[in-house]
């Protein structure tokens, strides 16, 4: 039997259907429809750069790029290869593996509430998300590509030129590529943990143990966690040497500022979704939260630049359990399950 007439009968009504809806109903999404960010009331307003207002089309384009292997040298790796949504966009591997099999010395950071961050990477070498976005693409140990090749691939692609035009009114370029990726990163907001429900007034959202752990983290001048992991995103945006090693293995912030006070100092990371983002610290040296807490309670290794805020303190087994239980209450299941953040 010749299948063509049957196929035609199926396609024809579909075509009619499409032409009708296009004539009668205005398009649902306007080209410049703003993307409305939603976040809990106890978060401040997110600063958005004037030249990259958030729109639905920009966010959608950024998402497509984030999951697209076209950004890497041999089309083998996307941003999501190292930033895995199941781990709150962190990498469960100690060091991330680049396109040529190179294993990095730093652990890939989670991507959470980035729109409020003041600098990016463990050493804070990027000041904006737009600036940050182009670096992994060109990093020889990560995606190992170069911007000229990537832009040429995007220009030759059958969808991207139109998508960039709709989002920015311009063809793919370094600037629009960076802006689109940054737009997707800004919507990665996490504020739905049980701790947040507690802050919003639901006093039953945390268990008794978690509440005790919370006061150890947030109020205690023994543990001092709150000196650095402070505010709605559990970071004061500074850099510290927490005494992980006696000597300097990775110069950290020193490489950016040249200031010896920054030797082996690293960015204070958020504690949100921390139960999902193992292994821990800039080099992924600790597998468990208990090991991290032990590091602090033991007072560090005594590096000459170690912060005085990390010093030995007494932590009973119950304290430790409570503290870790509180850290686990910072998990936001709705964040990691959000289909808007997952590859379609
Ligand atoms: C090969 C693995 C790998 C790939 C691919 C990768 N990253 Fe990363 N990412 C890392 C590592 C490792 C770090 C920490 C590096 C450092 O501090 O020097 C990081 C850090 C970041 C940070 C900083 C977060 C913060 O809180 O400061 C952002 C943002 C980020 N990556 C976004 C991206 C984007 C966007 C892409 C795709 C264009 C991407 N990454 C591709 C491994 C990767
Ligand atoms: C002096 C500031 C400071 C204090 C005090 C502090 N931290 Fe940290 N915290 C940091 C910095 C900086 C890092 C990253 C260190 C690194 O990787 O070299 C970090 C890393 C962490 C990590 C790993 C995060 C990740 O994504 O890998 C956890 C968990 C953590 N701290 C919990 C705590 C707890 C719990 C306390 C209190 C017992 C505490 N911190 C006290 C600054 C501090």
For the chain, give percent helix, strand, coil, nearest 5: 45, 5, 50
Q: Is the pLDDT of residue 344 over 90?
A: no
Confirm whether 50-189 and 194-335 share one CATH topology: yes
Atom of ligand 2 nearest to the CA of 283: 17
Fold adopted by 194-335: Cytochrome Bc1 Complex; Chain D, domain 2 (1.10.760)
Rounded mean pLDDT, 230-250: 97
Per annotation, catalytic residue among 117, 130, 142, 185: 142
Q: Is 280 left (phi over 0), alpha (psi -120 to 50) or beta?
A: beta
Domain boundaries, the chain: 50-189, 194-335
Q: Which residue owns the Cα nearest ligand 1 atom 10?
A: 108
Look up 148 and say whether it is catalytic: no
Query: Which atom in ligand 2 lies closest to the alpha carbon of residue 110?
Result: 26
How many beta carbons lie within 10 A of that of residue 64, not counting itself?
18
Atom of ligand 2 nearest to the CA of 241: 12
Ligand 2 proximity of 281 Cβ (cutoff 6 Å): yes
Q: Which residue has the tokens 């040529």?
A: 100
Q: Does the pLDDT at position 17 exceed 80? A: no
| Residue from 136, 183, 236 to probe ligand 1 pocket by mutation (most atoms less than 8 Å from CB) | 136
Write down the mean pLDDT value for the chain.
92
Residue 18 has pLDDT above 70, yes or no: no
pLDDT of residue 13: 42
Long-range Cβ contacts of 55-59 (<8 Å, 24+ apart): 55/31, 55/167, 55/183, 56/29, 57/29, 57/31, 57/32, 57/33, 57/163, 57/166, 57/167, 58/167, 58/168, 58/179, 58/180, 58/183, 59/35, 59/183, 59/184, 59/186, 59/187
pLDDT digits (tens, 9 = 90+) for 20-47: 444 555 555 455 799 999 999 999 999 9
Q: How many CB atoms lie within 10 A of CB 192?
A: 17
Closest ligand to C-alpha of residue 179 is 1
Ligand nearest to the CA of 141: 1
Measured in Å, residue 271 CA sits from the centre of ligand 2 at 8
> Is the distance from the beta carbon of residue 269 to the nearest atom of ligand 2 less than 6 Å?
yes
pLDDT at 1 over 80: no
Q: Locate the DSSP E strands across the chain.
A: 239-240, 266-267
Residue 44 alpha carbon to ligand 2 centre in Å: 23
- Residue minimizing CA distance to atom 36 of ligand 1: 79
pLDDT above 50: residue 8: no
pLDDT tens, 95-105? Answer: 999 988 989 99
Answer yes or no: is the C-beta of 62 below 6 A from any ligand 1 atom: no
**How many other C-beta atoms lie within 10 A of the C-beta of residue 227?**
16
DSSP string spanning 88-131? TTB-SSSS-B-TTSPBPSSPPPP--SGGG-SSBSTT--BSSHHH
The confidence score (pLDDT) of residue 167 equals 96
First CA to last CA across the chain, in angstroms?
37
CATH architecture for residues 50-189: Orthogonal Bundle (1.10)
**Hey, whose CA ends up nearest to atom 18 of ligand 1?**
121
Say if residue 338's pLDDT is above 50. yes
265 lines ligand 1 (CB under 6 A): no
Does residue 230 have its Cβ closer than 6 Å to ligand 2?
Answer: no
For residue 126, list its beta bridge partners.
Answer: 120
* Rounded Cα–Cα distance for residues 302 and 129 (Å): 34
Q: What is the full DSSP assignment across 146-170?
A: -HHHHHHHHHHSSSHHHHHHHHHSS
Number of residues in the chain: 344
* Closest C-alpha among 78, 64, 83 to residue 157: 64
Q: What is the pTM of this model?
A: 0.92
Of the candidates 274, 287, 291, 289, the residue with the CA atom closest to the CA atom of residue 331: 274
106 pocket-lining for ligand 1 (C-beta < 6 Å) = yes
Report the range of poorest mean pLDDT among 213-222, 235-244, 328-337. 213-222
Supply φ then ψ for residue 265, to 5 degrees: -100, 140
- The response to whether residue 96 sits with its C-beta less than 6 Å from ligand 1 reads yes
Radius of gyration from C-alpha coordinates of the chain: 23
Residue 266 has pLDDT above 60, yes or no: yes
């Amino acid at each position: 039997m010749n299948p063509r007439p049957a196929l035609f009968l199926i396609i024809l009504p579909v075509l009619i259907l499409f032409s009708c809806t296009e004539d009668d109903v205005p398009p649902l999404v306007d080209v410049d429809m703003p993307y409305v960010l939603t976040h809990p009331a106890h978060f401040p307003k997110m600063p958005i750069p004037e030249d990259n207002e958030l729109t639905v089309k920009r966010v959608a384009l950024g998402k497509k790029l984030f999951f697209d292997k076209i950004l890497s040298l041999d089309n083998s790796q996307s941003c999501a290869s190292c930033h895995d949504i199941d781990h709150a966009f962190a990498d469960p591997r100690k060091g991330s593996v680049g396109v040529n099999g190179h294993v990095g010395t730093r652990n890939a950071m989670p991507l959470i509430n980035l729109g409020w961050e003041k600098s990016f990477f463990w050493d804070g070498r990027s000041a904006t998300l737009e600036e940050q976005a182009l670096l992994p693409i060109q990093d020889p140990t990560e995606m190992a590509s170069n911007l000229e090749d990537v832009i040429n691939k995007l220009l030759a692609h059958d969808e991207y030129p139109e998508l960039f035009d709709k989002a920015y009114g311009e063809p793919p370029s370094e600037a629009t590529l960076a802006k689109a990726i940054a737009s997707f990163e800004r919507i990665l907001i996490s504020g739905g943990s049980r701790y947040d429900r507690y802050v919003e007034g639901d006093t039953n959202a945390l268990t008794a143990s978690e509440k005790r752990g919370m006061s150890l983290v947030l109020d205690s001048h023994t543990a001092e966690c709150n000196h650095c992991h402070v505010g709605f995103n559990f970071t004061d945006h500074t850099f510290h040497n927490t005494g992980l090693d006696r000597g300097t293995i990775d110069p950290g912030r020193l490489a950016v500022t040249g200031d010896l006070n920054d030797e082996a100092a690293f960015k204070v990371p958020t504690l949100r979704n921390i139960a999902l983002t193992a292994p821990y610290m800039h080099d992924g040296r600790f597998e468990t939260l208990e090991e991290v807490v032990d590091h602090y309670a033991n007072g560090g290794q005594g590096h000459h630049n170690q912060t005085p805020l990390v010093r030995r303190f007494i932590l009973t087994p119950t304290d430790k359990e409570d503290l870790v239980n509180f850290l686990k209450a910072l998990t936001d299941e709705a964040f990691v399950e959000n289909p808007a953040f997952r590859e379609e």
